[in-house]
Chains A and B, each alone.
Chain A
Amino acid sequence: MSKIFNLFPNQIVGHDVPLHLKLGTEFLVLLVTLMAFLSVLSAAGIVGLGHMTHSWTSGLENSVTIEVPQQSSNEESVNRLILSLKKIDGVSKVERLGQKKMQEMLDPWLGGITGLWEDLPLPALITVTLSERDEGKIDKIGETVRRVLPDATMDAHEEWLGDLVKLANSLRFVSLAIFCLMMLVTAVVVAGAVRSRMAIHHRELELLHIMGASDSYITWQFVRYIMIQSLKGVVFGIVLGGLTIGVLGVVSRNGSDLLPHIDFDLVEMAVFAAVPLILIAIAVWAARITALRVLREMP
């Protein structure tokens, strides 16, 4: 394992302070690996939730369903309603759900029992598709329905869509909160590691200080060390995260049809890979602030 974590030769570090020595801060690579892995997953979770919500709501967002009870659903009144709806500006399509399609939808619930259809008080269902979801147009459709067929009811799927959006937003917020927490943990652990290494190398720091090394000269060595450690961790984290997403993608394709397939395009994958880079920025920032703060304690 240690060989894997030593891909970057120590010569790259270039050090007056012997930060290349293994003195207990190597766990940083492991920590950043874990954080990068989790951040890839949380980013994928946020995007995946968007996909899932979209797949559940697509087709419903821009549509309204009108239900005409059987006692009012004679051909003439239904056709009159359809004609009135078609005249509304912004309505792109008005379609009555045919008997066959309705049977297909209900079959799984009724267990394929035939011969019952004539006895069932099935309503007439009309789907109105809008060019874009607009509350004003939905209100106008409602007015038309009440005017032409007062018994009919309209479902704009608001409740269903609202719940889904709430759920998706909550899950996104949780993912974001976890991501922020990971950043905070990374910053705190890096700060602790830098403080510890500065305490270990106090004599070297004092010598550099006496020679007139500026705070930025010394700080840069710690920043570079943390940058390299974080970079190692992020590379491993991205690889692990990518593999995990790939496996989840395969599993989802062979799993329930209720769950959408986990498929991300190249741009999304690039974003997932870029997200852990924030970890490097956070780690470097924490290292710099900590080192400067410790050095300011020197005369």
Chain B
Amino acid sequence: MIKFEHVGLRYGIGPEVLSDINFTLEQGSFHFLCGPSGAGKTSLMSLLYLGRRPTRGTIQAFGKNTNVLPREELGLLRQGIGVIFQDFRLLPHLSAFENVALPLRINGFDEKKIKLHVEELLDWVGLGDCMHRLPPTMSGGQQQRIAIARAVIANPKLLLADEPTGNLDDEIGMKLMGLFEQLNKMGTTIVIATHSLQILDRLPHPRLILEGGNLQVFDPALGREDLSGRDTPSFSSEKAGGVVHV
């Protein structure tokens, strides 16, 4: 589904923030992305959601080489990716309803369906009563739930989440992880950047570990492996917990 081959990224003439990244995300896989601050998690996420092009190497997304894909087609690929940002990136002038409806509007859904889906999802995340409020008038947790609802509303093939449980209490955090597991079982590929040891301990999915711009993987089932510089590793959720194929 997503394949990184010798991918490097640098900003301007600075040093590479990501070096020779190789991995494949199979459809329906579930991964955590971990690493210390400044390791390049956000940069890797931005490459995953096709928000920027790598300075070297190739990224295949949904079977297409994004390096040579025209901009219009890249946009269509992005429609199949849901992103939950650490800072939510909600549009403050739009209501919770309008924020969640945004991906559906971009995908060209009709207003009746939009109303139906958005109200249902906002009810599910516990925001049914305040769907017409503006984000700045809501708590951090509520805003985060809007961001999550917005990311999953269009039923994306790939869901990327940057610290999605950061502002949520444990109970809601685990409920949210349950939603991600549910989406994953329905075939959505999921990558979650997190520092939460509680989540990492409870969920035995493979971990992409970024350190100093290099990628390593750790599969709780197999132990830690340094894959930087090796051939493309491949992850799949076909087996419980995912399997690393080197």
Residue of B nearest to A217 (CB): B106
Q: Is the CB of B71 closer than 8 A to any CB of chain A?
A: yes
Chain B residues with CB under 8 A of A206:
51
- Chain B residues 57 to 98 lying within 8 A of chain A, measured CB to CB, are 71-72, 74-81, 83, 89, 91, 93-94
User: Using Cβ atoms and an 8 Å threshold, which residues of chain B touch A123?
Assistant: none
- A-side interface mostly: loop
> Knowing A206-B51, A299-B52, A299-B53 touch, does A212 contact B106 (C-beta < 8 A)?
yes
- Enumerate chain B residues within 8 angstroms of A21, measured Cβ to Cβ: 93
> In this assembly, does A49 line the interface, its C-beta being within 8 Å of a C-beta of chain B?
no
| A212, B51: Cβ atoms closer than 8 Å | no
In the complex the two chains form, is B107's CB within 8 Å of A212's CB?
A: yes
**Which single residue of chain A is at the shortest CB-CB distance from B160?**
A210
Q: How close is A292's CB to chain B, nearest CB, in angstroms?
A: 11
Q: How many A-B residue pairs have CB under 8 A?
A: 56
A212–B75 contact, CB under 8 A? yes
Interface size class of A (residues with CB under 8 A): 20 to 34
Is B102 on the interface with A (CB-CB < 8 A)? yes
Highest count of chain A CB atoms <10 Å: which of B49, B51, B83: B51
Q: Are B74 and A299 in contact (CB under 8 A)?
A: yes
Q: Are B79 and A211 in contact (CB under 8 A)?
A: yes
Residues of A within 8 A of B89 (CB): 203, 207
Determine the chain A residues whose CB is within 8 A of the CB of B53 once the complex forms: 299
Does the CB pair A215–B106 fall under 8 Å? Answer: no
Task: Determine if A50 is an interface residue (Cβ-Cβ < 8 Å).
Answer: no
Q: What chain A residues lie within 8 Å of B51 (beta carbons)? A: 206, 209-210, 299
Are the C-beta atoms of A16 and B76 separated by less than 8 Å? no
What's the Cα separation between A296 and B100 when bound, in Å? 26
B91, A211: Cβ atoms closer than 8 Å: no
Give the distance to chain A from B156, nearest Cβ to Cβ, in Å. Answer: 10
* A108 shortest CB reach to chain B, Å: 73
Give bound CA distance, A16 to B81, whole Å.
19
Q: In the docked arrangement, what's the CA distance between A214 and B108, Å?
A: 11
Taking a contact as CB atoms under 8 Å apart, the answer to whether B93 and A215 are in contact is: no
Q: Answer whether residue B103 sits at the interface, using C-beta atoms and an 8 A cutoff.
A: yes
User: Judging by beta carbons under 8 Å apart, are B94 and A214 in contact?
Assistant: no
Shortest Cβ distance from A213 into B: residue: B106
Centre residue among A203, A207, A296 by max chain B CB count within 10 A: A207
- How far in angstroms is the closest Cβ of chain A from B245? 30
What count of chain B residues pass the 8 Å CB interface test?
Answer: 25
Q: B75–A214 contact, CB under 8 A?
A: yes
Query: CB distance B75 to A18 under 8 Å?
Result: no
Q: Which residues of B contact A204 (CB under 8 A)?
A: 91
- The answer to whether B200 has its CB under 8 Å from any CB of chain A is no
B72: which of A18, A203, A208, A215 is its contact (CB, 8 Å)? Answer: A215
Q: Which of B79, B93, B94 contacts A212 (CB 8 A)?
A: B79
Q: How far is the CB of B180 from chain A (nearest CB, A)?
A: 19
The interface centre, meaning the residue of A212, A215, A217 with most chain B CB atoms within 10 A of its CB, is A212
Residue of A nearest to B101 (CB): A16
Report B-chain residues with C-beta under 8 Å of the C-beta of A16. 91, 94, 102, 105
Nearest CB in chain B: distance from A275 CB, A:
36
A20 to chain B, nearest CB (A): 8
- With A215-B72, A296-B71, A299-B53 as contacts: A210 and B78 at CB distance below 8 Å: yes
Residues of A within 8 A of B74 (CB): 299
A210 contacts B49, C-beta separation under 8 Å: yes
**Extra 7 A-B pairs, beta carbons < 8 Å, given A212-B106, A214-B106:** A207-B91, A211-B79, A212-B75, A213-B75, A213-B106, A215-B71, A215-B75
Smallest CB-CB A-B distances: 3 pairs: A212-B79, A212-B78, A18-B93
A-to-B contact residues, CB < 8 Å: 15-16, 18, 20-21, 203-204, 206-215, 217, 296, 299
Q: What are 26 A-B interface contacts by the 8 Å CB criterion?
A: A15-B93, A16-B105, A18-B91, A18-B93, A204-B91, A206-B51, A207-B91, A209-B75, A209-B78, A210-B49, A210-B83, A211-B103, A211-B106, A212-B75, A212-B77, A212-B78, A212-B103, A212-B106, A213-B75, A213-B106, A214-B75, A215-B71, A215-B72, A217-B106, A296-B71, A299-B53
